Amino acid sequence: MDAQNTVAAPAAPPLKASRVRSGRRIADRVLILASTLATLVGILVLGSILMMLIVEGVKGFSPLLFTEPTPGPGSEGGGIANAILGSLVLTFLGILVATPVGVMAGTFLAEYGRNSKIADVIRFLNDILLSAPSILIGLFVYTLMVKPMGSYSGWAGAVALAIIATPVIVRTTEDMLRLVPATLREAGAALGAPPSKVITAITWRGASAGIVTGIILALARIAGETAPLLFTALNNNSWFSPNLMGGIPNLPVMIYQFALSPYSNWQQLAWAGALLITVTILALSIVARFVIKSERAR
């Protein structure tokens, strides 16, 4: 009777399985700890850089910073107004060239090329250009434009920046157009609209926020480029000529040259310029995130 009412005890888990689970828990905790420490180190390094930039850069901020040109060697005072204006002009010209080329190339890859061999080649070359060192692009434009023209120029600087910005816009445009539902294209075709009309009236409109985001990201990418401008636009301490020939003042090269100078006021202007360009890029990145967020909400 007792033997019939006795409930069999559950079998103990195998010793090997218990050890495996214990080892996995230990590995999981070690990985979490290592990831947390790596994150804290990254935040600490980035925070210290930003803190130093803010502390040193704020010291150089004054109304003269935005109204006076950069001073000559040994001169006191001055500002970076000419460098700010030159950077705005170069960046605007670069984006002006890169936007139509990038949008049209991305449209071809998403709408016409699709899985064709030529589209695969273009994507491969675009990926290479996307990761190419900017100094190589500067050397390329130097050989292509600066050397034959015999002078540095804003036009060469704008071309170098456009080459850097184009692959960013191409990749973003293609990705955003591929996210547009195929049913919208089919609806446009069912109404008798040609492919060009479907693209301009439906797919571009549906992906407009994403395309604008790509342009903003490309703008943020080229806003702080220094290496290509060293070989193309160079720099000067005065206002540039309307034809953009000769050295063109710009913030990235100004920061590089002034930071290495022995003059304390030049170094202070370099800190102020670095803070200004960092805030600008941060603002552009925030705007891009808001555009992406609004697109997802739709």
Q: Which CATH number belongs to the domain containing residue 184 in this structure?
A: 1.10.3720.10
* Axis-axis angle for helices 154-178, 117-131 (nearest 10): 130
Average pLDDT, integer, range 164-178: 93
Nearby residues of 239 by Cβ (< 8 Å), 6 or more positions away: 69, 82, 85, 249
Residue 261 has phi, psi (to 5 degrees) of -80, 160
What pLDDT score was predicted for residue 1? 46
Element (DSSP H or E) covering residue 34: helix 15-59
Token output for 205: 């409109």
Alpha helices in 226-263, H assignment, sequence order: 227-232, 251-259
Residue 56 resides in a domain = no
Residue 55 resides in a domain = no
Residue 197 has pLDDT above 70, yes or no: yes
CA–CA gap between residue 192 and residue 198 (Å, rounded): 10
CA–CA gap between residue 289 and residue 216 (Å, rounded): 10
Collapse the DSSP code of 153 into the 3-class scheme (helix H, G, I; strand E, B; otherwise coil) and give the result.
strand
Domain span including residue 288: 63-297
Closest CA to 87 of 256, 266, 295: 256
Residue 260 resides in a domain = yes
Hey, what's the torsion of the CAs at 276, 278, 284, 288, to 10 degrees? -160
- pLDDT digits 0-9 by tens, 55-65: 999 988 888 89
- 20-24, 235-239, 271-275: lowest mean pLDDT where? 20-24
Residue 19 resides in a domain = no
Assess contact for 151 and 240: CB atoms under 8 A: no
Alpha helices in 108-153, H assignment, sequence order: 117-131, 134-141, 147-149
Residue 7 resides in a domain = no
Assess contact for 164 and 228: CB atoms under 8 A: yes
- pLDDT digits 0-9 by tens, 259-276: 998 899 999 999 999 999
Hey, what's the torsion of the CAs at 219, 223, 225, 226, to 10 degrees? 160
Residue 18 resides in a domain = no
Q: Is pLDDT larger for residue 204 or for residue 292?
A: 204
Q: In residues, how long is the chain?
A: 298
- Mean pLDDT: which of 31-40, 61-70, 196-205, 233-242 is highest? 31-40
Residue 40 resides in a domain = no
Give the number of domains in the chain: 1
CA–CA gap between residue 169 and residue 104 (Å, rounded): 10
Letter string b/e over residues 225-261, b meaning 16 or more CB atoms within 10 A of that residue's CB:
bbbbbbbbbbbbbeebeeebbebbbbbbbbbbbbeee
Alpha helices in the chain, H assignment, sequence order: 2-5, 15-59, 81-107, 117-131, 134-141, 147-149, 154-178, 182-190, 195-198, 204-206, 208-223, 227-232, 251-259, 264-297
Counting residues of the chain whose pLDDT is more than 70, the rounded percentage is: 93
Residue 15 has phi, psi (to 5 degrees) of -65, -35
What residue type is assigned to position 167 of the chain?
P
What's the predicted TM-score (pTM) here? Answer: 0.84
The whole-chain average pLDDT of the chain stands at 88
Residue 253 resides in a domain = yes
CA–CA gap between residue 212 and residue 194 (Å, rounded): 25
Assess contact for 160 and 137: CB atoms under 8 A: yes
CA–CA gap between residue 88 and residue 84 (Å, rounded): 6
